[in-house]
Amino acid sequence: MKIDRALNSRINQIDFDKISFGSHYSDHMFRSEFINGKWTNSIIEPFGKIRFSPISLVFHYGQAVFEGMKAYKDKNNEVFLFRPKENFKRINRSAKRLEMPSIPEEVFMNGLKRLIDIDRNWIPKYYGKSLYIRPFLIATNGVLSAKPSKNYMFIIISTPADSYYKHPLKVKIEEKYSRSASGGVGFTKAAGNYASSFYPTRLANENGFDQILWTDSSTHTMIEESGTMNVFFLLKKKLITPKANDNILSGITCKSIIDLAKMDNISVEERDLSVSEVIEGLKNGELKEAFGCGTAAVINYFEIINYRKTNFRLPYIPENKRISIRLKKMLLDIQHNLSEDPFGWRMHI
């Protein structure tokens, strides 16, 4: 792997006490190309612009997938990645569905680890803050006919990150627009999944909501995700989350929370969950907590769920009594090397 180091770091431009998510990018990026059926030209180079042909098929047919992951520092400035092999496996599941080449483990992991090691000074040494890492794979050439590209580029960039949301969320149950459909690409991190969510999310924002609670495209009667997050509901003393399927992303944070909850003797169910079950739980007081989770957001709890123009306010619970807050702390303590790692999730860099 070739390494071309940046001559001057931009890190002095950053106030790590006031980080705006995605506003600043670390000094370097990793890049590798898929040409003539094999991966080549792997390089760590200064973060910067890349030239593409206007007929690159990423622009025309949307062959683009990505991942979201984080690196953390502990109190001794040691650096850790969190479950990176899960991201490696998931980006290749996404790539397969979009007829893109698999990324070899040595390309993904070696590029990732070398990049984070070189830019380790960009990782904030603050509890709850991290270096957000964005690996992505895109089609880079072709002809203007609807078929897969032959050449691709895999890139990893990173940005210092604070909490994605800093307040309890107001969410709206969506009954018109859909995030995904059965047999589609909802289970992947395909770029187009997110672009198609922007318009309905803006409509929800204009009506005072932070995010959408997505429902199934066929009947809009089953809960799927919330915005870009998996969701959990503490209903009848059980922590329930919709089971990952063709429509729902298999979230790494979600799977981690399930394991932590079980370790904490919380009853967990991964199953279909209907809108009517959620609304009934809100009406009769049996739904105590609801929250979304994901790499960027970590965990954010809901204070209002809107359904058919009615706002249902979840019960007030002090933060030190919330299951969502307890699980978030358990997760962050593992990520920042403040507690034991019984699952072997941390990777030391």
pLDDT value, residue 99: 97
240-284 pLDDT per residue, tens: 999 989 999 999 999 999 999 999 999 999 999 999 999 999 999
- Binned at pLDDT 50, 70 and 90, residue 192 comes out as very high
pLDDT value, residue 19: 83
CA angle 18, 20, 22 (to 5 degrees): 145
pLDDT value, residue 5: 92
pLDDT value, residue 261: 98
- Residue spans of alpha helices (H) in 290-336: 323-335
Enumerate long-range contacts of 197-201, CB under 8 Å, 24 or more apart: 197/227, 197/228, 200/174, 200/176, 201/227
59-75 pLDDT per residue, tens: 999 999 999 999 999 99
pLDDT value, residue 14: 87
From CA 179, how far away is CA 188, in angstroms rounded?
A: 12
pLDDT value at 296 more than 90: no
149-188 pLDDT per residue, tens: 999 999 999 999 987 777 899 999 999 999 999 999 999 9
Which 8-state DSSP code applies to residue 126?
Answer: S
Q: Would strands 238-241 and 268-270 be described as parallel, antiparallel, or unpaired?
A: parallel
Please enumerate in sequence order all residues whose Cβ is within 8 A of that of 209, keeping only pairs 6 or more positions apart, or say none.
170, 171, 172, 306
pLDDT value, residue 164: 72
From CA 278, how far away is CA 314, in angstroms rounded?
A: 11
Instruction: Calculate mean pLDDT across residues 85-89.
Output: 98
From CA 61, how far away is CA 148, in angstroms rounded?
A: 8
* Cα–Cα distances in angstroms (integers) from residue 37 to residues 33, 149, 244, 332, in the given order: 10, 11, 32, 40
Quick check: 166 and 139 in contact, CB under 8 A? no
* Cα–Cα distances in angstroms (integers) from residue 165 to residues 73, 152, 300, 304, in the given order: 21, 34, 7, 15
215-244 pLDDT per residue, tens: 999 999 999 999 989 999 999 999 999 998
117-131 pLDDT per residue, tens: 999 999 998 899 999
Q: Say whether 224 sits in a helix, a strand or coil.
A: strand
Length of the chain, in residues: 349
Quick check: 35 and 151 in contact, CB under 8 A? yes
Instruction: Calculate mean pLDDT across residues 34-46.
Output: 97
Helix (H) or strand (E) holding 287: strand 287-294
What does pLDDT average to over the chain?
A: 95
Instruction: Calculate mean pLDDT across residues 8-30.
Output: 89
**And the tokens for 211?**
């995010």
pLDDT value, residue 15: 87
pLDDT value, residue 334: 98
pLDDT value, residue 331: 97
Residue extents of the structural domains in the chain: 2-162, 169-336
Instruction: Calculate mean pLDDT across residues 12-28.
Output: 87
Q: Which CATH number fits domain 2-162: 3.40.50.2000, 3.30.470.10, 3.30.750.80, 3.30.479.30?
A: 3.30.470.10
pLDDT value, residue 21: 80
Domain topology for 169-336 = D-amino Acid Aminotransferase; Chain A, domain 2 (3.20.10)
